[in-house]
Every structure is written in C-alpha cells, then in structure tokens.
Structure 1
Amino acid sequence: MLTLIHNIRYFFERRGFYVSSRLADKIGMRAKSVRLFFIYASFFTMGIGFVVYLTLAFWLKLKDLVYTKRSSVFDL
C-alpha cells in the first residue's frame, strides 16, 4: 500500500508540478514566484467570497429589521 502511494506521489510530482516550471520559463520568472502567486491568489479569492457572504448576510438581516410587518398600531 505504501508503494502505491509513493508511486502516485512520484507521478504527480514529476508530471503535475511541472506546470509552474513551464509557465515560469515562458514568462521568465522563478518557479517559486509563480507558485507563491497561485497560493496568494487562491487565498485572496477565498477571502473575497467570504466578505461578500458576510455583507449579504448583514444586508438581509438589516432588511428584515427595517421591513418587519406590524400587526397593529400599538406595536410601534
């Protein structure tokens, strides 16, 4: 079982991680910089989605507080 995992890991290290190196060679940068860019971009996009979610949740809660239906005049 350990050999299978090692072979799969070796396959992805040799074939899958070559994308950053090829892109870096084409652009003329270091591969480490390209990898860091993808890491920071993924954190940034995840953060943007979380901020949008919190903003919408706050807006809906505020809307519910403002537009509540009152059953009578004495609820004011």
Structure 2
Amino acid sequence: MNGIYKPLLFFQKHGYYVCQRIAERLGIRAKVVRTTFMYLTFVTLGFGFALYLFLAFWMRIKDLVYTKRSSVFDL
C-alpha cells in the first residue's frame, strides 16, 4: 500500500507547489489559484457539453428542414 501512496504524495506535493509558485508570483494566496483552476475546469467542461448539445440540435433541425427528395414529384 505504501508503494501506491508514495507516487500520489509526490505528484500532489509538486502539483501544489506549482500553484504556490504562481500565487507567489501574482501576490495572492495559493488557495485562490487552486479554486480558480477548479472553477475553470468545470466551466470548460460545461461549455463543451453545451456546445455538443447545440450542435446536435442544429444537425437535427437541418435534417428536418433539408430532407433528400428522390424526384421533383415528391414535393
């Protein structure tokens, strides 16, 4: 079990160190930088999902409006 936690703790320590260095550079708290990254992650995932739904809706409307007709008499 210790072999699993050592790499996890290593990446957590150095990952938080990156946020800490960014915060020191900007002159703000590291907690603010971490929460900002979390909020941006949720926003971008939500935007991608909303874009997907919009494109699916648009394609459905396009298929309903522009149906392929085999001849002129199918109007």
For normalisation by structure 1, the TM-score amounts to 0.84
User: Once superposed, which parts of structure 1, at least 4 consecutive aligned residues long, lie more than 6 Å away?
Assistant: none
Number of residue pairs matched by the alignment = 75
CA RMSD of the aligned region, Å?
Answer: 1.8
Q: Percent identity of the aligned residues?
A: 55
Tell me the CA shift for residue 16 of structure 1: 2.4
- 26 and 74 in structure 1: CA distance in 2 versus 1, 3 angstrom threshold: same
Residue 11 of structure 2 corresponds to which residue in structure 1? 12
Residue 46 of structure 1 corresponds to which residue in structure 2? 45
Alpha-carbon distance in 1 for matches of 2:11, 2:70: 64
Alpha-carbon distance in 1 for matches of 2:74, 2:47: 40
* 1:59-74 matched pairs, under 5 angstroms: 59-71=58-70
Question: Unaligned 5+ residue runs, structure 2?
Answer: none
Residue 37 of structure 1 corresponds to which residue in structure 2? 36
